[in-house]
Structure 1
Amino acid sequence: MAGLDVLMERGVALDFIKEISTIPGGEEIVQCIQCGTCSGCCPASFMMDYTPRHLVAMIRAGLREEVLSSQAIWLCTSCYTCTYRCPMGIKITDIMYALKRIALRSGKYPRGLKVEKLSKEFVNMINRYGRNHEAELVFRFAMKNPFKSIKDIPLGWSLFSHGKLPLMPEKIKDVNKIKTMIQKAEEVGGL
C-alpha cells in the first residue's frame, strides 16, 4: 500500500484510513485523484452536507468524527453510479455501506436523522422481501411528517425517472434463507 506510506510520511492520522482499508475495495481509497466524477454523477449529492469526493478527502485526512457524523453517508442511494464511473475503480458505494456500519457501531451518526429506526425498518423489509424496497421505505418515513417531506420530492422524482426507485417490490425466491442469515448476523452482533 504505497499510498498509505506517503500519507504516513506526511503525518496524517492513519487509524481511520487503515480502518477503511480493511473494507473490501477500501484499500483503493488512497488512489483517489479527486476528479469529482463521483460527486458529479451522484443523484443525491445536492442534498448531502459533503459530496462523495469531499468524504474521500476527509477520510484521507483522517477526519473520522466528521465523516461518521455526516448526513452524506445516509443519503447515498446505493445506485453504484459513482463506483461504475470512477476512473480509479474505487468502490465508493461499498465504502458508504461500511461507513454506515462503523457509524452505527460507534454511535457517531447525525442526531437529526432517524438512523436506528431506518436501520430497523430496512432489516424488517429484508426479512419481508429478501431485499430492500426503497419506495416503501421512503413512503413509511415520509408519512410520519408529510409537510417536511415535500422538499424531498425532487430527489424522489430524480431517482424514479432514472429507474432507481421502482414502485412495486420484488421478492426473492427463498426469503427464509435471508431471514436465517439476518438472525445469525444479529446473534454475532453484525447488525
Structure 2
Amino acid sequence: MSTSTALLLADLTGVAVFAASGASAAVAKRLDLFGVVFVGFVAALGGGIFRDLAIGEVPPLAFADWRYAATAALTAVAVFWLHPQLARLRTTVLVLDAAGLGLFTVTGTVKALEAQVPAVGACVIGMLTAIGGGLGRDLLTGEIPVVLRREIYAVAALAGAVAVVVLDLLDRAGAVPLTVATLLVFGLRLIALRRRWSAPVAMLRPPSTGPT
C-alpha cells in the first residue's frame, strides 16, 4: 500500500470517527436529523478544512473530494438511526473523539510536513487539525469546548504531532511508526480521562476588603 493511499484511508477513518462523535453528541442533545448530520459534518471536517487552508491546498479536500463529505454524512445518519443500540452515549463520544484525535493529529502533521512546513509549524497544524472538529462540535451543542477545559486534550494532540515530526527527522515515518504515534495520542487521551489528569489552572484569590 502506498503512503498516499494509507493517508487517505487514515483520513477517511478519522472523518468517520469524528462524524460519529459529533453525531452522538448531537443525538444526546436531542437534535433533529439535519442537526445531527450538520454537527457530525462540522466535527468530522472542520479540522481538515483548517489544515488544507493553512498549507495552501485550495479548495479543501472536504469540498474537492466527495468521499469526505459522503463519509461524514453517512456516518452521522447511521448514528442517528442506530443510537438506541449505542449504550452510554457519553462514553461512546469520548472514545470516538480520542480515536479521531489520534488519527487527525498524525494525518494533519504528515500533510503539513509534505507541504514543506517547518517542524514547529507542522506540529501546530497537526494539533489544530485534531482539535478543530471537536471545538466546532462542542460549540454547536452548547458545551464548553474540551480544549478549553482542564482535561488533557490539546496536549495529547501536540505530543503526537511532535512524535510524528521526530519520526520524520529520523526518516522513520512509515506506516507502523505512524500507527504507533496515533495510538500514543489515543492512549494518552484515554488514560488522562481514566486517571482524571488535568492541566493546572490559575488559583483565584478572594479580593481584599482592606483594613476595617
The alignment's TM-score, normalised by the length of structure 2, stands at 0.28
Higher relative contact order (CA 8 A, sep 6+): 2
Instruction: Looking at secondary structure, tell me which structure has more helix per residue.
Output: 2
